[in-house]
Structures are given as structure tokens and as C-alpha cells.
Chains A and B, each alone.
Chain A
Amino acid sequence: MNWLYDSVEPRVMDEDMLKLAVGEQGPRDEAGQLARQEGILFKDVLSLRLDFQNILRIDSLWQFENLRKLQLDNNIIEKIEGLERLVHLVWLDLSFNNIEAIEGLDTLVNLEDLSLFNNRISKIDSLDALVKLQVLSLGNNEISHMMNIIYLRRFKDLRTLSLSGNPIAEEEDYKMFICAYLPDLVYLDFRRIDDHMKELAEIKHQYGIDELKQRENLIQAQLDDERAQREELEEHKAAFVERLNGSFLFDSMYAEDVEGNKLAHLPGVGQLLQAYKDKFVIVCLNIFEYGLKQQEKRKVELDTFNECVQEAIQENREQGKRRIAKFEETHLLSLNAIRDESEVTNLEMKVAEHSKDITELFNMLMTLEMQLVEQLEETINTFERNIMDLVALFIENVQSLMAQCRDLENHHHEKLLEISINTLEKILKGELDEDLPYDVRALFVDKDTIVNAVGTSHDLHLLKIDNREDELVTRTNSWCSHLVDAIHKDEIMRNRRRVKEIHQYVDHVRNELDNLECSEIID
């Protein structure tokens, strides 16, 4: 394994070494001649072989952005590193090295074939990012625990696995275990797994697998649930009414409200609070539903708009393409005619004629484009107006609903005040029968204290409601302005691109004509 380790000096992966390797492995013969002439950029290299180089440390590979295949076998590498930039890597060979742990592969999501044969790895992990993994070679390592196999269950595409030469391969149950726990595997240790074997293994390990599957399913279900919830919340957020479909706002009002919670212990307040909560939640739900409905409306509006714009652009594009196709036919013909023309006067006339054609094409394309710009501008303005109106209406209605919340709060506040004062009077008179907690009783010292306490609670509640309303309004408005800005920007970008394209094309055509002329004149 490391027979060279002591005797040979490790080498450093530097620019020269890479250049040499690239040059050697690059194109051959005539193509090689050209390649030498021009030089090869590292980022154009697709495959690189660096075996038997006594490399100790992987380095300087960051330039090979498009590398698909990398061979680093038969070196003395001890740690996987420096591969983070090679995201397109499909094939990675690190066999016959001195690697002790799998690491540094988290960015290589496209990796399909990984060889870590003959290393010193004792645990399979850190491979989670390699979702496309098909071939995994881990033979001649130091993996000793069967549970490492279960880790491999997550790779749905894994078909080939080699683990021979590991301590676990010595175990008598080795093959059966792998066949049972990795049922999609086709080749194990370079041999095809026969169906009979699979069946046997399945029967043997049925209990274990069932249990495992059950656990996996549970986890999966949990994940799904979470995702669904997250998605729902996202949706509500897009409608700006998240968490209004319940008592969340109400609860948040009382979450920091010390006095309010204390006062809830007063006789009669519990019921009052319950009634208040019910009403409040109903209003919240109203807001929520209204918000979703409005969101739907906005979406429909936006979709129609996009569809119409796309249609318009598409049609314009078709027109443009037709024009160009038509022009190209004549263009080829006239170029040929000019080429064949020998008489100078005729030639000049034809050239002039053709250049007129080109100008005409240019004008036509530009007219089309300008026409589209005008049309789109008008449409966009209409849309802008409409969406603004929609948003304004939404905000207005939400505000009126929020006002209802505030009314409820005010009403509740009055009632609470009344009860509190009554209670205070009773306490002062000493007529109170019930026991109140000590800290609640502390509030009932005099009228100011209790009024202050109730007032604080009320203010806090109002603040919460105001905050929620503000948040909604700001977010809605900002969404609207963002949307409109984005549409304008997109349109401008589109226009610029198209104009650039037209110019480029016309320039190219002109160039062709000029080149022809030049060559004619030279001839």
C-alpha cells in the first residue's frame, strides 16, 4: 500500500505539473499542433490523469471548472481536499492512497463513480451530497462495522459496490447482509448478484429490514409533513396573511402581557376573555380568507398579463424570423450574383442595391421592435394601474377588518376595566370571597395602579395589532412596487437585447458584403 512512502519524496501539485499533464493528455496529431499553437486553458479540460506522481496534497485544481473525470490514484494523498470547485466531476479515482476519512466531497453533486480502493478508511460517511452515485469502490480499506452498509441505503442509484478486503468482508453474513439491505444493488465485489441470492437474503433479514423500513418511512413522513407545512406557510406569506388563520395574533398579544395574564384570574374575566378571543379569531379568519382570495385574484391578473405579453413577444418574434428568412434567401442569391459579376458598373449597382436591401431589413426589424415596445408599454401601464388598484383595495379592506379588531380590543378593555374596578372596590370593602393569587392581589392596591395595569395591557394589545397591520401594508406595497419594477426592467432588458441582436445581425450581413467587395477590388 505505501511501499513508496518512505523511499520517495512527495511532490507538490503545481502549475507546471498540471500543464505537463494537460499537454500530454491533450489532443494528438494535427489537433495537438493546433492546441500547442493556441494553448489549452485549464477550464476547457474535461479529463485529467495524475497517477503515480507521489502527490501528497491535492492542490491547484481550482481552475479546472469543467473537469468531468479526475484520476489521482497511486499517490500518497492523505486527505481529500481542494476539490470543492470541481462541481461537474462525474468520475473521481482516489484509489491506492493513504486516505483515512471520507471528506471534502460535499460539493460534487454530479459524481457518479467514486473509487477509494486501497486506502485506510474505517467509516463510510460524508457522502450525503453525492445523490447520483452509481459506482462506489471501497475495497481494501479498514471498514469493520456492518452498520456502515445501512448508510449506503440513501443512494437510490447505487448499483455497484465493492467492499472486499475489508474486515467486514470476513464476516460470514457479509454477502447476505449487503444483498438484503441494498436490494437495488446489481454488482457486489465485481460479481453480479443473482436473484436467488437476493431472495434468500431478503428472507433471512426480513425482520431487520422491515424495522428499518418502518423507521425510514416514519422519518420520510415527518419530513414530508414539515415540507408541506413550510410550503403552506410560504403560500400564506405570499398572500401577506400568514398566521392569521387561528389565534396566533391573539396569543401573541397576551404572550408578553404580564398584567393581562394576571387580570385573567379575576372572576368573570375568564369568560370575557374567551368570548373576546372567539370574536377576535373570527375577524382574523376573515382577514385570512380575504387575503387568500385577493392573492388568487392577483395571481390570475399576473398570469393573464404574462401570457398576453408572451404571446405578443412570440408573435413579434415570428414576424422577425419570417423577415430574416425571407431576406436570407435573397441575400445568398445576390451575394452569389455579385461574386459572379465581372463588370464594374453592374457590380457597383448590385452592391448598392443589396446594401439598400440590408438597410431596409434593418429598418423593418427596428420598426417591428419599436412597435412592440409601444404596445407593451401600454399594456404594462394598464397592468400597473390594475395591480395598484387591487393592492390598494386589499389594504383598505384589511385595514377596516383590523379596525374591527381594535374595536373588539377597546370593548374588551372597557369591560375589563369595569370588572377590575368592581373587584378593587370589593377588595377594598373586603367583600371578595375568592382567593386571588398573591401577585394579582398586589395589583389591587389603589385605583391608579389597577387602571394603569389594565391600560398597559390594552396598549400592548393595540401595539401588536398595529404592528401586524403595518407589516402587512408595507409588505404588500413593497411586493407591488417590486413587481412593477421587475416588469419594467425585464421589458427594457428585452428591448436592449433585441436591438443588440438586430444590430449584430445587420453588421454581420454588411460585413459579408464588404468582404466580398474588398476581395473583388483586390482581384
Chain B
Amino acid sequence: MEVLKEKVEEEEEEAEREEAAVRAERGEKVVRPMEVRREEAPMTQEMLRDLEKKLSDIEMAIPEKLSTFTKDTIDISKLPLSYQSNTLKEEHLLQVADSFSRQYSHLCPDRVPLFLHPLNECEVPKFVSTTIRPTLMPYPELYNWDSCAQFVSDFLSMVPLPDPLKPPSHLYSPTTVLKYQEGNCFDFSTLLCSMLLGAGYDAYCVNGYGSQDMCQMDLTRDVCPLTVKHQEVVQEEEKVPPKKYAIKPPRDLTSKFQQEQETKKQEEIKAEEERRLREEEERLLDVEKAKTDPLHGLRVHSWVLVLSGKREVPESFFIDPFTARSYSTQDDHFLGIESLWNHKNYWVNMQDCWNCCKDLVFDLGDPVRWEYLLLGTEKSHLSLTEEEEDGLNDDDDMENLGKEDEDKSFDMPPSWVEQIEISPEAFETRCPNGKKVIQYKRVKLEKWAPYLNSNGLVCRLTTYEDLECTKTLEIKEWFQNREDMLELKHIDKSTGLNVDYFKPGHPQALRVHSYKSMQPETDRIMEFYDRARVDGLVKREETSKTMTEYYRGRSDFLSYRHVSFGDRVKKLSLNSAESNPRPIVKITERFARNPEQPADEDVAERVFLISEERIQLRYHCRDDHITASKREFLRRSEVNHKGNKIVMTPDMCISFEVEPTEHTKKLLYQYEAMMKLKNEEKLSRHQAWESELEVLEILKLREEEEEEHRLTISIYDTKRNGKSKEYREAMERVMHEEHLRQVEAQLDYLAPFLAQLPPSEKMTRWQAMRVKDECLSDFKQRLIDKANLIQARFEKETQELQKKQQWYQENQVTLTVEDEDLYLSYCSQAMFRIRILEQRLNRHKELAPLKYLALEEKLYKDPRLVEFMKVFV
């Protein structure tokens, strides 16, 4: 592409323009024979040599396993006819394309041949536009471009182009590509373009030049999108205009000059710091930057262009089908465009790509910038009007003329590709074999299909410290369909901190669990879905000596509880098999304001100093006060020096009241308050103890869950849900049996007798009578047979029973208990059988005449026999 970067000489351009004007008058419309801008200085010998040398230096790093995806692996015999041949219209189109290509190469001899009609899997040339088959996928997930692109990039594995400097010779249909889940960039973009067009986007396949990283899908120098943290948008606080009566701030008496000096100094330091940081960054970047690519600008790549306008796309952008990332049209990775096409038309880029794609204008209706192949699409509205041209096409060459005429009535033939279909299984599995690994800069991303891993792992992101990916920094694992609702596991190797994130629905309403070890009484933080919990617990933080709990939305307004534990007292007693809870030293509880109580009676903080036997209360602050009431109870001196029990003395309660009232001074009041507090202390201790138990329980549960890691299966998932499958199969079986029975019911009872008659003759009355009689007698015989059968069985059973009884009576004395039992059970069973047989026989005897009569009746009414019967009757 360097050649393209050459500046066009002024004179030539001038001449060209004149020529162009003349041509325009002649009314050339379809293909302007000469290119205006694309003329460049002739290559000098030196340049050629230079280039040759350069090219010879390049070692082609074509991968070994070039493609298992070659023609011989594809069974072309099963492909439909449209794949194996061209229709007339397609042939015609190919001719048009050929002539276009000829003119193009004639006019722009220095440009590479156009990528117009590569061979398909059946070695049939097909025009690229017809290879696109716009399809809207039946999955709602594939309605937007980003998910479509992600699907394509996940679903297919990438095969490099056979020759990185040329477009491929073959372009397979999207269906084949989907089937084999492999393809080069052209296959990728054709498939993606088909899906996007189906979803209503204004999308185009692009044949152009990309950077090495892009062409080889080398992401090792890219930052993984998953690791990029969302920059928090700092919302500028709206400056409220000072209100009319806003108070004036107190006068500032500090020196302005000193402040200024101070800020100056600060700024200098900051600037210095920034500079240093920038340098550091640059140095790092230099290290990371790979050696420049010698083939820069020559590597052929194909990607997708989405133009603005449809589906509320505000701005045109590129999608790289390999990585599913979107880029702006100004991006550095895209170095030039040769041509682009959608299912309707084909456009050749006539703009200079010396500055990559940055200056390109994607106005496809502009014939100066984009040369189109077919007329008549909506994008060609900028071309000259037809009247002008019709009158002036006298001395064009015949081919051109012919083509123009055709063009007016010629539109793109329908796609030869079969409907693109993705089975639900394939859609769910996504990646080939359900597994994909992508290497980013310092990051490895692994993806799995759901249910592939038994623990529900679907994605793992490993971050490394160094570029060579040897030292692991952190691991993030995403899970799906776990019964314990585990969603994400974050392991920080540097700190050893594990953080588990859960979706709503964990049996203990766990939301986040961050821990270093699963041992109890170590540092851990558990966060909960507080609305799912009865006690409204939001968060519980634990260290080895403390436990802090945060609550929300409780009816008793408790919002915080902090428990400090002392050292565990060693129990000497032997029966300490039970848990030995640590002694509680201090419990601090904080309460939110209860609006129904006056502030002076609403406790804000309650501290139980259990070891000191003290209780401290701090009340809420009144709305217009700055101090809050406090009260402290000492519950130590239960017995005075005389040995009498002291109930309450004034110095057992020290209180500060914002507004002293009379009744709170009373000992009775204080005594009652203290009694209440004592009870509450007990309760709080109990709750702390329960919390500890709960932690243990959760830990146990977590361990169990980790071991079991069962997966949930949706009741709508008919494939995996064993129960529903069984049920469905049973239903089907029942249905089938039902069907069989119906078929049986419809059996023709006359068929065997009618078959005996000579065919194709009308039945005589005599014959009819005979048929009837035969049928009846046959039925009678059957009934008798049946009765005999039952009778025979009955007799047999009876005989056997009698034999057995005889045997028993003979050997009764010598029999063991077991044998006797055996005999008895046999007897009862035999009796049962006999009884049933007897019943059956009786029933048969009863029913047989009825059945016989019924058949006779039926025969009388049978449509085939009825006329003869009538006469007979």
C-alpha cells in the first residue's frame, strides 16, 4: 500500500479531471474507465529492488496446521444444488463482475485485483455478495451487534489466510463455516455480516488491510476488556446558586499571600510527580512495544463495517470479527480498504488510504469515492440522472453499453447459500468443543460452555504480573447454574484473599464472602442480601478477636453490633465435648433513630462492658441540640458490707440528661431500666453466640457446596432435565400405546373373509351371506377356544395345587418352618390364581353370547353387506 501513499502529481490530476468531465458528458455511468485519484508516480527501479529485498527478508510464519478445513474434508455431495452450480442469473452476474474487473484492472493497473468471485467449497465461482445470506437468528440474544459479533468470534476458531498478502482463493458458504466451526477472516466477516444484515443493521463486509495483531488475532498486546475498570464518572456537583438569605461565612483571617505560595509549591510538586509518572509509563510502553512489522500495510484482512442510520446506530464503526470488538473508523489497526460489499452490491474504494482509514468517507452514494458494481441500489442516488446519460451513450464500447442496459434491470441474484441455522445445542456450546482460550496482555481468558465443567465454571480470567505470564497475580472465575448460586470467585494471589460473589438465592442469603481461610474465627467478611434475611443482616466482619455486624431495616432499629471476644478460657472439665465459646468482653450496639420515641428516650448506642459489669447508654441527639443524654449503670455491688442485698443506690446510675426530668431521677425508674438492660444484655449475648454458630454453619455449608458443586437445571431445559425427560418419554409411550389401541380398534373384522373372495368382482348375495356366516362362526370358534383355554389353565392350576397339598400332607411332619412358609405362600398364590381364572371363565361365559350377538348386529349394519341383508330381511 505504500504506493497508494504517493502523492498525485498536479498536472496529471488536472488532465484527469478534464478527462473525467468529458466522460461525464458522454454519460458513462456504470464504470468510469479511468480512475481520477488513484494514479500515482511510477515505481522507480530502486523502490522495486528495495521492496523485493524487503519481501525476501520476510519469513513467512505460516502456521503448520494450515487448515484441516480444506476441500477434501468437506463432503460436497451432500450440499444442495445451488452450491454446486450457478444459475443463469448468477452466470450473468459473474460476467458482469468479470468485465468490471477487467475495466478496473485496465484503469488501475497498479491496484491488486478485486476480490469478486472466489470459489466456494464445490469449486464453483460465486460472487461475494451472494455468499452473504441475511438471516435473523431466532435467539433474542443475537439481536444486537455486540452479541452477534461475540457469538461469531466465540463460535468459530480462527484459521489464518493461506497467503497473508492476498485474499483467499476460496470463500465458503456461512453454513459450511458454521458446520466446521473454522474459518479465516473472510469467513468470519461473511457470517457476521449475514447475521447483522438479518438483524437490520446496515452492515458491509470489508476487504482491506489490517495490522499484524489484528490479522493474526494476536491479542497479547491488548489489554483485556474484562480487566479494564470502569472509570467512575465523577459527577460534578451542581453549584447551587447562593440563596437569598444564605448566611455569610465568617470572615477569613488567614493570609492570602501565604496560601498562594503554598498552592504554587504544591502544584510544582505535583507536576514533577506527573512528569516522572509519564516517563515511567513511556518507558514501559517502549518495552512492551513489539518490533515493527515488515509487512505493515500489506496484510490482507476482512472485517465488518456498520454504517450509521439503521437500528439507531449513531456513528459508523468497524467490527473486527475475530475479537468481536468495535473500533472507530479512525482506528490505527485498519490500514486501508480495497472494497466492500453487502448482499446487494459491491463497492470499490477510490479514496487514498495513505493515512490508514482515517480520511475515508463512507458515503457509498458518492461515485467519486466509491465505485459501485451494480446500479439500482439505494446508495447510488448521487450518480448522474438517467436522462442525461441515455441521450449521450453513443460511442461507448459495446460491452459497456450492454452492461448498462442490463444494469438497469439487473439486481443482485438471491443468495445461493442455504438458510443459516444454528441449533440450540450449538448455540449454547458456542465455542468449538465448548472451550476457548484467549491470551491478552498479562491476561489469559478461558471460556467454557455451560454444563461442560461439572462445577459450573464458564469463564476464567487469569491475570499475571509479568508479560511472560508466569507469575499469577489474580484469578477470577465465573460460574453458571450453580445450585449454591455462586457467580464469581475472585482469588487474589498476592494477598491470599478469596472473594466469592453469589447471586440472590443462596440458602443463607449470602451475597459476598471474602476470606483468607475457611477456618472459623479468622478474618472474613460476609455480606448478605438483607431483604432475604429475617434479621436484616447486611454484613458481618470478623477478625480473630471481634465480630461486627451491620443491619438494615429492623423493627428494633438495630443497625450495628460489635462484639469483642476475650481469650478462650481453658476448661478443665472432661465433659467439654461441646463447643467452648470465647468469653464476650464487650458488646456495642447502635440503633437508628426511632421516630416514634422522643430523642431522650431513644437509645443510640448501648455498650455492655461485660467483664466490668457496666452498661453504658447514649441516647439520640434531639433535633435542635448538640449534646445527647448519657447514662451509665454499674451492676456490681449486689451486696453491701453488712451482707444485705442492695437493690439500687443513686451512685449505681450516673446519668447526664440534656433536659432533666423528674421521673428519670427516681430509683424505681432506674431500677426498672437496669433490669430491662440486664435482660437485653443476656439477649445480646445470646445473639452474638448465635451469630458465631451461624458462621460455623455457613462455613460448613460452603465446604459441602464446594465439594458437591451441584448444578441446577431449568425446568424448561428439556434436554438436561432428567425428570422432565422421563416424564415426557412416559407420556409419549402412553400416547403411542393409545394410538396402537386405536389402530387395533379399527381392525377390519371382515377383511380376512373378504380377501378370500375373488377380487374386483361385485359381491353376490350368496357370497355376502357366506362371508357373514363365516365371520360369525369364526368368532364363535374363537370364543369357544378362549373358554377352553381358560378352562384348561384353571384345571392345570387346580391339579398342581392338589398335588402340592398332597405332598404337604405327606411330608407335614418333616417340614421346616421355612418350607412350611413357602408352601403356605404358594398355596395362597395358587388359590388367588385359581380364583381369578374362575372369575374370568364365568365372565367369559356371561359375555360370550352378548359379544356374539353384538357382532351379528354389527355385521347386519356393515356397509359392505347391508344391501344384501336388507333384501334378506
| B42 is an interface residue with CB less than 8 A from chain A | no
B671 touches A308 (CB 8 A): no
Residue from B247, B624, B656 in contact with A375 in the complex, judged by beta carbons closer than 8 Å: B247
Digit string of B629-658 for contact with A (CB within 8 Å is 1, else 0)? 000000000000000000110000000101
Q: Which residues of chain A (278-311) have a CB below 8 Å from chain B?
A: 301, 304-305, 307-309, 311
B243 touches A501 (CB 8 A): no
Supposing A30-B647, A34-B647 touch, asked if A376 and B666 sit within 8 A by C-beta, the answer is no
Name, among B243, B626, B656, the residue most crowded by chain A CB atoms within 10 Å (CB to CB).
Answer: B626
A34 touches B668 (CB 8 A): yes
Residue from B245, B626, B672 in contact with A383 in the complex, judged by beta carbons closer than 8 Å: B245
Q: For the complex formed, measure the closest distance between the CB of A306 and the CB atoms of chain B, giving whole angstroms.
A: 9
| A479 is an interface residue with CB less than 8 A from chain B | no
B663 touches A378 (CB 8 A): no
B658 touches A501 (CB 8 A): yes
| B682 is an interface residue with CB less than 8 A from chain A | no
| A498 is an interface residue with CB less than 8 A from chain B | yes
Whole-angstrom CA separation of A376 from B250 in the bound complex: 12
User: A85-93, A220-228, A317-325, A417-425: which one contacts chain B?
Assistant: A317-325
Contacts of A312 in B (CB 8 A): 246-247
| A346 is an interface residue with CB less than 8 A from chain B | no
Supposing A34-B647, A501-B627 touch, asked if A308 and B246 sit within 8 A by C-beta, the answer is yes
Digit string of A25-43 for contact with B (CB within 8 Å is 1, else 0)? 0010011011101101000
Name, among A30, A304, A307, A371, the residue most crowded by chain B CB atoms within 10 Å (CB to CB).
Answer: A30
A501 touches B647 (CB 8 A): no
Whole-angstrom CA separation of A376 from B246 in the bound complex: 9
Contacts of B675 in A (CB 8 A): 31
| B762 is an interface residue with CB less than 8 A from chain A | no
Q: For the complex formed, measure the closest distance between the CB of B419 and the CB atoms of chain A, giving whole angstroms.
A: 60
| B625 is an interface residue with CB less than 8 A from chain A | yes
A34 touches B671 (CB 8 A): yes
| A452 is an interface residue with CB less than 8 A from chain B | no
In the complex, residue of chain A having the shortest beta-carbon distance to the beta carbon of B626: A320
Q: For the complex formed, measure the closest distance between the CB of A24 and the CB atoms of chain B, giving whole angstroms.
A: 16
A304 touches B244 (CB 8 A): yes
| A379 is an interface residue with CB less than 8 A from chain B | yes
Q: For the complex formed, measure the closest distance between the CB of A98 and the CB atoms of chain B, giving whole angstroms.
A: 37
Residue from A33, A309, A379 in contact with B647 in the complex, judged by beta carbons closer than 8 Å: A33
Contacts of B666 in A (CB 8 A): 38
B: number of interface residues (CB 8 Å): 23
B671 touches A379 (CB 8 A): no
A308 touches B248 (CB 8 A): no
| B621 is an interface residue with CB less than 8 A from chain A | yes
Supposing A498-B626, A504-B658 touch, asked if A305 and B647 sit within 8 A by C-beta, the answer is no
| A447 is an interface residue with CB less than 8 A from chain B | no
B668 touches A35 (CB 8 A): yes
Whole-angstrom CA separation of A501 from B648 in the bound complex: 29
| B695 is an interface residue with CB less than 8 A from chain A | no
| A382 is an interface residue with CB less than 8 A from chain B | yes
A321 touches B626 (CB 8 A): yes
Whole-angstrom CA separation of A311 from B247 in the bound complex: 9
Q: For the complex formed, measure the closest distance between the CB of A382 and the CB atoms of chain B, giving whole angstroms.
A: 7
Q: For the complex formed, measure the closest distance between the CB of A195 and the CB atoms of chain B, giving whole angstroms.
A: 31
A: number of interface residues (CB 8 Å): 40
| A326 is an interface residue with CB less than 8 A from chain B | no
Whole-angstrom CA separation of A378 from B647 in the bound complex: 56
Contacts of A494 in B (CB 8 A): 624
Name, among B627, B658, B672, the residue most crowded by chain A CB atoms within 10 Å (CB to CB).
Answer: B627
B248 touches A375 (CB 8 A): yes
A27 touches B668 (CB 8 A): yes
Q: Which residues of chain B (162-203) have a CB below 8 Å from chain A?
A: none
Contacts of A504 in B (CB 8 A): 627, 658
Contacts of A35 in B (CB 8 A): 668
Contacts of B656 in A (CB 8 A): 505, 508
B243 touches A307 (CB 8 A): yes
B624 touches A371 (CB 8 A): no
Q: For the complex formed, measure the closest distance between the CB of B246 and the CB atoms of chain A, giving whole angstroms.
A: 5
| B841 is an interface residue with CB less than 8 A from chain A | no
Q: For the complex formed, measure the closest distance between the CB of A310 and the CB atoms of chain B, giving whole angstroms.
A: 10
Supposing A34-B668, A379-B247, A382-B245 touch, asked if A365 and B626 sit within 8 A by C-beta, the answer is yes
B244 touches A308 (CB 8 A): yes
Whole-angstrom CA separation of A321 from B627 in the bound complex: 7
Whole-angstrom CA separation of A382 from B248 in the bound complex: 12
Q: Which residues of chain B (231-257) have a CB below 8 Å from chain A?
A: 243-248, 250
Digit string of A309-345 for contact with B (CB within 8 Å is 1, else 0)? 1011100010011001000000000000000000000
| A497 is an interface residue with CB less than 8 A from chain B | yes
| B422 is an interface residue with CB less than 8 A from chain A | no
In the complex, residue of chain A having the shortest beta-carbon distance to the beta carbon of B663: A44
Q: For the complex formed, measure the closest distance between the CB of B529 and the CB atoms of chain A, giving whole angstroms.
A: 33
A304 touches B245 (CB 8 A): yes
Whole-angstrom CA separation of A383 from B671 in the bound complex: 52
Contacts of B668 in A (CB 8 A): 27, 31, 34-35, 38, 40
In the complex, residue of chain B having the shortest beta-carbon distance to the beta carbon of A317: B626
In the complex, residue of chain B having the shortest beta-carbon distance to the beta carbon of A375: B247
Contacts of B621 in A (CB 8 A): 321
B244 touches A371 (CB 8 A): no
Contacts of B648 in A (CB 8 A): 30, 34
Contacts of A505 in B (CB 8 A): 627, 656
Contacts of A30 in B (CB 8 A): 647-648, 671
In the complex, residue of chain A having the shortest beta-carbon distance to the beta carbon of B622: A501
Q: For the complex formed, measure the closest distance between the CB of A359 and the CB atoms of chain B, giving whole angstroms.
A: 17
Contacts of A44 in B (CB 8 A): 663
Contacts of B658 in A (CB 8 A): 501, 504
| B667 is an interface residue with CB less than 8 A from chain A | yes
Supposing A27-B668, A34-B668, A35-B668 touch, asked if A308 and B626 sit within 8 A by C-beta, the answer is no
Residue from B243, B647, B671 in contact with A304 in the complex, judged by beta carbons closer than 8 Å: B243
Whole-angstrom CA separation of A317 from B622 in the bound complex: 11
Q: For the complex formed, measure the closest distance between the CB of B672 and the CB atoms of chain A, giving whole angstroms.
A: 6
Whole-angstrom CA separation of A501 from B626 in the bound complex: 8
In the complex, residue of chain A having the shortest beta-carbon distance to the beta carbon of B249: A375
Q: For the complex formed, measure the closest distance between the CB of B626 and the CB atoms of chain A, giving whole angstroms.
A: 4
Contacts of B663 in A (CB 8 A): 44
In the complex, residue of chain B having the shortest beta-carbon distance to the beta carbon of A368: B626
B626 touches A305 (CB 8 A): no
In the complex, residue of chain A having the shortest beta-carbon distance to the beta carbon of B665: A38
Whole-angstrom CA separation of A321 from B604 in the bound complex: 14
Whole-angstrom CA separation of A376 from B647 in the bound complex: 51
B250 touches A371 (CB 8 A): yes
In the complex, residue of chain B having the shortest beta-carbon distance to the beta carbon of A494: B624
Whole-angstrom CA separation of A301 from B245 in the bound complex: 9
In the complex, residue of chain B having the shortest beta-carbon distance to the beta carbon of A307: B243
Contacts of A34 in B (CB 8 A): 647-648, 667-668, 671
Q: For the complex formed, measure the closest distance between the CB of A293 and the CB atoms of chain B, giving whole angstroms.
A: 19
Q: For the complex formed, measure the closest distance between the CB of A476 and the CB atoms of chain B, giving whole angstroms.
A: 21
Residue from A308, A317, A497, A501 in contact with B245 in the complex, judged by beta carbons closer than 8 Å: A308
Contacts of B248 in A (CB 8 A): 375, 378
Whole-angstrom CA separation of A14 from B865 in the bound complex: 116
Q: Which residues of chain B (74-122) have a CB below 8 Å from chain A?
A: none
Known: A44-B663, A501-B625. 19 other contacts (CB 8 A): A30-B647, A30-B648, A31-B647, A34-B647, A34-B648, A38-B667, A40-B668, A301-B244, A305-B244, A308-B247, A312-B247, A317-B625, A321-B626, A375-B248, A375-B250, A376-B247, A382-B245, A501-B626, A505-B656
25 A-B pairs with C-beta separation under 8 A: A30-B647, A31-B668, A31-B672, A31-B675, A34-B647, A34-B648, A34-B668, A34-B671, A38-B666, A304-B245, A307-B245, A309-B247, A312-B246, A317-B626, A320-B626, A321-B621, A321-B626, A365-B626, A494-B624, A501-B658, A502-B626, A502-B627, A504-B627, A504-B658, A505-B656
What residues of chain A have their CB less than 8 Å away from a CB belonging to chain B? 27, 30-31, 33-35, 37-38, 40, 44, 301, 304-305, 307-309, 311-313, 317, 320-321, 324, 365, 371-372, 375-376, 378-379, 382-383, 494, 497-498, 501-502, 504-505, 508
Query: Shortest 5 CB-CB distances between A and B: which pairs?
Result: A320-B626, A308-B245, A375-B247, A312-B247, A30-B647
